[in-house]
C-alpha cells in the first residue's frame, strides 16, 4: 500500500520550475482551475519509491509571499491553511543559479512558515558558463535547509531532489532569520495577543486581505482587526522587512557564492542589443510574425484535408452500416459533422501554440512585450496583450485565457473584449468560399486579388481590434492600479518537453472548451433543420415528386430537391424566412439567413449548411461555388452572389460575434454576464450596420 | 535636484538612493529595487518607455511612470 | 432497431444538449465567490 504526501513547488517565474514539475511528474499531470477563480491549478503525481507517492502542486510563479495578483493570492491561501487537503508536507523552492539573490527572498519567507523546505537550485549547467561557484554545505547551514543542485536541461540532480523529498522529515523547520526584529515591540504585542499562531503567518494576514476558507474566518478576522498601525506604517514596515531579508541574503551569498566575472560570456546582452533595438527589434519581430503565419497556413492544410476526408468517410460509413433511421442520421450528419468541425482546427491551433510556446520558452516573448508596450498602451492595452492578440488568429478561446498575466484589470478586460475581432481560423472557410465566388481573377504586383482580399480581411480584423480597444479605453471608467513589470530572462534553447506539454494543454483547452458547446449546438441545429411543422415538411416527398413529375430527374437529383425543400420548411428554414426582411437590405436571402443562423454553432458550419441548402450532394467547394453562382436575386433579378453581397457577407463575418464558445469563456474569465452580452450585442450590431452600408453602397 | 530612474541614459550605471514606499509597489522592492542597490539601463524602448533595467542582477522592464518614483545617484 | 427507438434516441440527445447549454450559460454561478480580492483587482467586477 503506498502512502501519499503533498509537495508544493514554488519559485520565481523563469526559474525552470515548470521543467522541474515536468521532470518529476512526466505525463502524470493535470491542469484544472482553482474553484471560483480563473487561476490554473497544476498538479501531478510523482513516484518517490516503492511505498511513497508524491502529490505535487505546481504553484503559480511568484516573487514573494506578499501577493499582488490573483495567482499569487492562491499561493498564500494554500500555505496558510493547514486544513486544506493540498497543504504541503514539504515545499520545494525552485531557484536558478543566476538569480539566486532574488530567488532567496521568497525562500526566506517560506522558511518563516516553518514547513519543511528544500532549496532546489536549477540551471546548474550554466555555472561554468557564468563563472559561478557555490558552497553548498555553507548555504545549507546558513539557510537551515537541504539543497539539491539540478539541471533540468541536462537532466541531472532530479534523483537527488527526490531523495531529499523522501526524507523530508529530516528537514529543519527553523526559520533562517528573524524578521520580527524589524519592530520588536509591535511583534511582541502580536505574539502576546495570539500565542498559538505563527508570527509570520499573523504578519501576512495583517498586511494582506486574504481569504482562508470558512474554517479559519473568525480567527482571521480577529487577527486582521489587530490594526494598531496605519496602512502607510505597515507599508514602511514591509519595506524594512524586505531590506532586512536582502541584507541577510547578501551576507550569506557573499561567502556562499562566488562569481568570477571574467568568465562570463554574455549572450543575453549581445542578443538584446539587436532584438530590442529601436528599429531592428521591430523589423525582426514582424518578420518572425510573417514567418509564423506563413508556416501555419502551409503546414496545416495537409492534415486539415486529411481530417476532412476522414470525417466525411466516417459519416458515410455510419449512414450505411447502422440501421437507417433518425438517430443514425443525427449521428452521421449532426454529431460526426459537429465533431469534425472541432477536430479540423486542431492542426492550426497546435501549430500556433507551438510557435508561441517556443518564443516564450526561449525568452524572446518578454522582449516582444517590452517593444510593444508603449504602442499598446495608447490603445488601452498592455504589452502583454500581444500574445492573446496573436493567439486569437488561431482561436479566441486559448487567447482569452492567455490574458491572465496582464496585471491591470482594465487592460486585461479590454484585451478580452477585443480579441474576438482578430480573424480566427473558423472564419477562414467562410472567407475562402465567398472570395472564390465574388472576387475576380487577376493580380496586381504579383499578388492575386483573392489573396489580397484575404490579407485585407486579416488586417481589418486586427485594426478593428485595436480601434475598439482605443474606444473602450476612452469609454470605460474603471480605475485600476497598474503596475507593469516584465522580467527579461536569459535566452535559452526551448526544452522540447515543455513545449510539447504546453501545446498539448492548450489544444486540450480548445477541444474541451469549445468542443462540448459546438457539439451541443450542432445537435440542436440538426434537429431544427431535420424537422419541421406542418404538411409542407411532412409531405415533402410527395410535393416534390409531383412538382417535378414532368421533368425526368434521376433519383439522385430528386432526392436532393427533396432535401432542399425539407430544409426550407424545417424549423430552421422558417427562422431563415422570418429574418429575411431584416437581411435583405444586406443583399442576402433566406437561404443565407439559415446559414448565418447555423454558423452560431461554429462558423465553419456555414459552408456545410450552404451545401445542403443548394442541394449539393457533397461539400465540394467547386460544386457549391457553381451552384451559388447560379442563384438569382429574387428582387433585382441579377445574380444573388455578386460583388456587393459578397463583400457585405465577408464584412458581416469579420465583425459578428457568433462564437458561443468564446462568449462562454469571456463570461468565465470576467466573472459576469455583462461583458459577453455587450460583446455580442455590439459586435453583431456593428456587423449588421457595416454589411448593410457596404451592400447599399456597392450596389 | 532629484535624479530619478527615468533620467538614466542607455548604458549608464547608478545607485538607488530612495524608493517611495507609497508610490512604488512592494513587488518592485522585492525584486531588488532597494536603496543601496546598483542599477544600469540596458535598453530603452522608443519614447524611453518601458525601460529595460538591470537592478541588482535582476533584468526587468518597467514603465516610465514607475521609474520616476525611484531616486538615484548616477555613478 | 425500430424507428421508434431511433426517435427516442434523438430526443434524448436533444434533451442532453439543451440541458448542457442551459447549465453552462444560464445557471447561477456554481462556485461560491472566494473573494480573494484584497486590494487588487481579480476580475470580480
The confidence score (pLDDT) of residue A263 equals 58
Task: For residues A472 and A466, give the distance between their C-alpha atoms in angstroms, rounded to a whole number.
Answer: 10
Any domain includes A281? no
A96 and chain C: CB distance < 8 Å anywhere?
Answer: no
Task: For residues A335 and A315, give the distance between their C-alpha atoms in angstroms, rounded to a whole number.
Answer: 9
Minimal C-alpha gap between A488 and chain B (Å)? 5
Judged by CB atoms closer than 8 Å, whether chains meet at A520 and C17 is answered as yes
Identify all chain C residues contacting A327, using CB atoms and an 8 Å cutoff.
1, 5-7, 9-10, 13
Q: What's the CATH code of the domain at B27?
A: 2.30.30.90
Task: For residues A68 and A66, give the distance between their C-alpha atoms in angstroms, rounded to a whole number.
Answer: 7
Minimal C-alpha gap between C23 and chain A (Å)? 11
Q: How confident is the model at residue A210 (pLDDT cuts 50, 70, 90)?
A: low
Asked if A519 contacts A334 with a C-beta cutoff of 8 angstroms, the reply is no
Task: For residues A283 and A270, give the distance between their C-alpha atoms in angstroms, rounded to a whole number.
Answer: 17
Identify all chain A residues contacting C17, using CB atoms and an 8 Å cutoff.
519-521, 523-524
A497 and chain B: CB distance < 8 Å anywhere?
Answer: no
A230 and chain B: CB distance < 8 Å anywhere?
Answer: no
For cell 513516484, what's the residue? Answer: A47
C-alpha cell at A31: 491542469
**Stretch among A1-15, A44-58, A546-560, B28-42 having the lowest mean pLDDT:** A546-560
**Stretch among A60-69, A310-319, B1-10, C29-38 having the lowest mean pLDDT:** C29-38
- CA–CA distances in Å: residue A525 to residues A111, A144, A683, C18: 58, 64, 23, 11
Domain that includes residue A666, residue range = 514-698
Identify all chain A residues contacting B60, using CB atoms and an 8 Å cutoff.
485-488
Neighbours of chain B (3+ CB pairs under 8 A): A
Kindly report the number of other CB atoms within 10 A of residue A631's CB atom: 15
Minimal C-alpha gap between A210 and chain C (Å)? 6
C-alpha cell at A325: 433511421
Chain A residue at shortest CA distance from B58: A99
Asked if A625 contacts A436 with a C-beta cutoff of 8 angstroms, the reply is yes
**Stretch among A62-71, A504-513, A620-629, B8-17 having the lowest mean pLDDT:** A620-629
Give the containing element (helix H, strand E) for A38: none
3-state SS class at B58: strand
Identify all chain B residues contacting A268, using CB atoms and an 8 Å cutoff.
59
Identify all chain A residues contacting C29, using CB atoms and an 8 Å cutoff.
671
Asked if A572 contacts A618 with a C-beta cutoff of 8 angstroms, the reply is no
Neighbours of chain A (3+ CB pairs under 8 A): B, C
Whether the link from the prior residue into B50 is cis, omega within 30° of 0, is yes
Minimal C-alpha gap between A664 and chain C (Å)? 7
What is the average pLDDT value for chain A, to the nearest integer? 83
B28 and chain A: CB distance < 8 Å anywhere?
Answer: yes
Domain count, chain B: 1
Domain count, chain A: 2
Q: How confident is the model at residue A516 (pLDDT cuts 50, 70, 90)?
A: confident
Q: Which of A143, A170, A197 is the last residue of a domain?
A: A170
Interval A71-98 mean pLDDT:
88
Task: For residues A670 and A413, give the distance between their C-alpha atoms in angstroms, rounded to a whole number.
Answer: 7
Interval A9-32 mean pLDDT:
88
With a cut of 70, say whether residue A649 has pLDDT above it.
yes
Judged by CB atoms closer than 8 Å, whether chains meet at A370 and B45 is answered as yes
The confidence score (pLDDT) of residue A57 equals 93
Any domain includes A450? no
Neighbours of chain C (3+ CB pairs under 8 A): A
C-alpha cell at B50: 518601458
Domain that includes residue B66, residue range = 3-74
The confidence score (pLDDT) of residue A645 equals 84
Q: What's the CATH code of the domain at A79?
A: 3.40.50.300
Give the bridge partners for B52, in sequence order: B43, B61
Asked if A338 contacts A522 with a C-beta cutoff of 8 angstroms, the reply is yes
Interval A295-300 mean pLDDT:
82
Is A591 or A64 the better-scoring residue by pLDDT? Answer: A64
Interval B47-59 mean pLDDT:
88
Interval A307-327 mean pLDDT:
85
Is A618 or A227 the better-scoring residue by pLDDT? Answer: A227
C-alpha cell at A345: 482546427
> How far does Cα A134 stand from its chain's mean position?
39
The confidence score (pLDDT) of residue A342 equals 81
Task: For residues A434 and A645, give the distance between their C-alpha atoms in angstroms, rounded to a whole number.
Answer: 10
What ipTM describes this predicted complex?
0.92
Chain C residue at shortest CA distance from A213: C34
Q: Minimal CA–CA distance to B34: which of B48, B44, B43, B24?
A: B24
Give me the long-range contacts of A216-221 (CB less than 8 A, separation at least 24). A216/A81, A216/A83
A327 and chain C: CB distance < 8 Å anywhere?
Answer: yes
The confidence score (pLDDT) of residue C45 equals 31
Judged by CB atoms closer than 8 Å, whether chains meet at A238 and B34 is answered as no
The confidence score (pLDDT) of residue A547 equals 75
pLDDT in tens, C27-40: 654 443 333 333 33
Any domain includes A273? no
Chain B residue at shortest CA distance from A207: B26
The confidence score (pLDDT) of residue A223 equals 63
Judged by CB atoms closer than 8 Å, whether chains meet at A68 and B58 is answered as no
**Stretch among A449-453, A524-528, A597-601 having the lowest mean pLDDT:** A597-601
A208 and chain B: CB distance < 8 Å anywhere?
Answer: no
Chain A residue at shortest CA distance from C13: A523
The confidence score (pLDDT) of residue A218 equals 62
DSSP string, A529-557: HH--SHHHHHTHHHHHHHHTSSS---HHH
Q: Which of A170, A185, A206 is the last residue of a domain?
A: A170
Task: For residues A383 and A394, give the distance between their C-alpha atoms in angstroms, rounded to a whole number.
Answer: 20
Q: Which of A129, A148, A170 is the last residue of a domain?
A: A170
**Stretch among A226-235, A368-377, A436-445, B29-38 having the lowest mean pLDDT:** A226-235
Judged by CB atoms closer than 8 Å, whether chains meet at B46 and A488 is answered as no
Kindly report the number of other CB atoms within 10 A of residue A553's CB atom: 15
3-state SS class at A122: strand
Identify all chain A residues contacting B19, using CB atoms and an 8 Å cutoff.
239
pLDDT in tens, A105-156: 999 999 998 899 999 999 998 888 788 889 999 999 988 899 999 998 888 9
Give me the long-range contacts of A626-633 (CB less than 8 A, separation at least 24). A628/A437, A629/A437, A631/A589, A631/A591, A633/A589
Q: What are phi and psi of C2, to 5 degrees?
A: -80, 155
Amino acid at each position: 500500500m503506498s502512502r501519499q504526501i503533498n509537495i508544493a513547488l514554488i519559485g520565481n517565474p523563469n526559474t525552470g520550475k515548470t521543467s522541474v514539475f515536468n521532470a518529476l511528474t512526466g505525463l502524470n499531470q493535470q491542469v484544472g482551475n482553482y474553484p471560483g477563480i480563473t487561476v490554473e491549478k497544476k498538479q501531478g503525481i510523482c513516484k518517490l519509491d516503492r511505498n511513497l507517492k508524491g502529490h505535487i502542486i505546481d504553484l503559480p510563479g511568484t516573487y514573494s509571499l506578499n501577493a499582488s495578483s490573483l495567482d499569487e493570492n492562491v499561493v498564500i491561501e494554500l500555505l496558510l491553511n493547514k486544513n486544506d487537503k493540498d497543504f504541503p508536507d514539504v515545499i520545494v523552492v525552485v531557484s536558478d543559479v543566476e538569480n539566486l539573490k532574488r530567488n532567496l527572498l521568497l525562500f526566506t519567507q517560506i522558511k518563516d512558515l516553518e514547513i519543511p523546505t528544500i532549496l532546489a537550485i536549477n540551471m546548474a549547467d550554466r555555472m561554468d558558463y557564468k563563472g559561478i561557484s557555490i558552497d553548498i554545505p555553507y548555504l545549507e547551514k546558513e539557510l537551515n535547509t537541504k539543497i539539491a543542485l539540478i539541471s533540468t536541461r541536462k537532466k541531472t540532480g532530479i534523483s537527488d531532489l527526490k531523495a531529499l523529498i523522501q526524507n523530508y522529515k529530516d528537514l529543519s523547520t527553523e526559520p533562517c532569520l528573524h524578521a520580527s526584529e524589524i519592530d520588536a515591540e509591535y511583534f511582541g504585542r502580536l505574539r502576546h495577543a495570539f500565542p498559538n499562531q505563527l508570527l509570520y503567518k499573523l504578519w501576512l494576514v495583517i498586511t494582506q486581505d486574504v481569504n482562508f476558507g470558512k474554517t479559519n474566518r473568525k480567527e482571521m478576522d480577529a487577527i486582521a482587526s489587530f490594526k494598531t498601525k496605519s496602512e502607510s506604517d505597515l507599508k514602511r514596515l514591509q519595506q524594512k522587512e524586505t531590506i532586512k531579508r536582502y541584507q541577510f541574503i547578501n551576507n550569506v551569498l557573499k561567502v556562499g557564492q562566488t562569481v568570477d566575472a571574467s568568465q562570463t560570456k554574455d549572450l543575453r546582452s549581445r542578443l538584446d542589443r539587436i532584438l530590442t533595438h529601436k528599429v531592428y527589434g521591430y523589423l525582426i519581430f514582424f518578420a518572425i510574425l510573417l514567418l509564423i503565419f506563413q508556416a501555419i497556413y502551409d503546414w496545416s492544410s495537409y492534415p486539415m484535408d486529411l481530417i476532412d476526408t476522414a470525417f466525411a468517410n466516417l459519416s458515410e460509413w455510419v449512414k450505411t452500416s447502422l440501421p437507417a433511421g433518425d438517430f443514425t442520421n443525427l449521428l452521421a450528419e449532426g454529431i460526426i459533422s459537429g465533431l469534425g468541425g472541432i477536430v479540423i482546427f486542431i492542426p492550426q491551433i497546435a501549430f500556433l501554440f507551438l510557435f508561441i510556446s517556443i518564443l516564450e520558452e526561449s525568452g524572446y516573448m518578454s522582449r516582444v512585450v517590452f517593444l510593444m508596450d508603449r504602442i499598446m498602451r495608447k490603445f488601452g492595452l498592455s504589452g502583454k496583450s500581444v500574445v492573446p492578440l496573436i493567439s486569437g488568429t488561431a482561436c479566441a478561446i486559448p487567447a482569452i485565457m492567455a490574458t491572465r498575466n496582464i496585471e491591470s484589470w482594465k487592460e486585461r478586460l479590454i484585451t478580452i473584449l477585443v480579441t474576438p475581432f482578430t480573424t480566427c481560423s473558423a472564419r477562414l472557410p467562410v472567407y475562402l468560399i465567398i472570395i472564390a465566388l465574388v472576387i475576380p481573377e487577376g493580380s496586381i504586383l504579383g499578388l492575386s486579388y483573392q489573396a489580397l482580399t484575404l490579407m485585407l480581411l486579416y488586417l481589418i480584423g486586427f485594426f478593428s481590434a485595436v480601434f475598439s480597444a482605443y474606444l473602450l479605453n476612452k469609454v470605460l471608467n474603471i480605475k485600476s492600479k497598474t503596475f507593469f513589470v516584465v522580467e527579461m530572462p536569459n535566452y535559452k534553447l526551448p526544452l522540447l518537453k515543455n513545449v510539447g506539454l504546453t501545446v498539448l494543454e492548450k489544444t486540450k483547452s480548445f477541444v474541451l472548451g469549445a468542443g462540448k458547446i459546438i457539439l451541443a449546438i450542432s445537435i440542436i441545429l440538426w434537429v431544427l433543420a431535420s424537422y419541421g411543422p406542418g404538411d409542407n415538411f411532412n409531405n415533402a416527398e410527395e410535393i416534390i415528386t409531383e412538382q417535378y413529375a414532368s421533368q425526368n430527374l434521376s433519383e439522385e437529383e430528386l432526392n436532393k430537391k427533396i432535401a432542399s425543400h425539407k430544409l426550407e420548411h424545417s424549423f430552421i428554414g422558417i427562422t431563415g424566412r422570418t429574418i429575411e426582411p431584416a437581411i435583405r437590405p444586406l443583399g442576402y436571402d433566406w437561404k443565407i439567413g439559415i446559414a448565418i443562423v447555423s454558423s452560431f454553432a461554429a462558423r465553419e458550419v456555414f459552408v456545410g449548411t450552404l451545401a445542403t441548402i443548394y442541394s449539393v450532394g457533397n461539400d465540394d467547394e467547386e460544386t457549391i461555388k457553381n451552384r451559388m453562382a447560379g442563384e438569382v436575386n429574387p428582387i433585382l433579378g441579377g445574380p444573388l452572389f455578386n460583388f456587393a453581397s459578397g463583400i457585405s457577407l465577408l464584412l458581416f463575418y469579420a465583425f459578428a460575434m457568433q462564437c458561443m464558445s468564446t462568449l462562454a469563456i469571456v463570461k468565465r474569465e470576467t466573472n459576469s454576464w455583462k461583458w459577453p452580452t455587450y460583446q455580442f450585442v455590439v459586435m453583431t450590431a456593428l456587423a449588421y450596420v457595416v454589411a448593410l452600408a457596404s451592400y447599399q453602397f456597392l450596389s | 535636484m532629484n535624479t530619478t530612474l527615468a533620467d538614466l541614459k542607455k548604458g549608464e550605471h547608478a545607485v538607488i538612493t530612495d524608493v517611495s514606499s507609497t508610490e512604488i509597489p512592494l513587488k518592485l522592492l522585492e525584486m531588488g529595487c532597494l536603496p543601496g542597490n546598483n542599477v544600469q539601463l540596458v535598453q530603452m524602448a522608443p519614447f524611453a518607455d518601458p525601460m529595460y533595467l538591470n537592478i541588482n542582477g535582476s533584468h526587468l522592464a518597467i514603465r516610465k511612470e514607475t521609474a520616476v518614483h525611484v531616486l538615484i545617484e548616477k555613478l | 432497431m425500430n424507428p421508434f427507438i431511433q426517435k427516442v434516441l434523438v430526443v434524448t440527445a436533444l434533451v442532453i444538449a439543451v440541458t448542457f447549454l442551459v447549465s453552462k450559460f444560464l445557471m447561477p454561478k456554481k462556485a461560491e465567490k472566494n473573494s480573494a480580492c484584497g486590494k487588487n483587482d481579480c476580475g470580480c467586477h
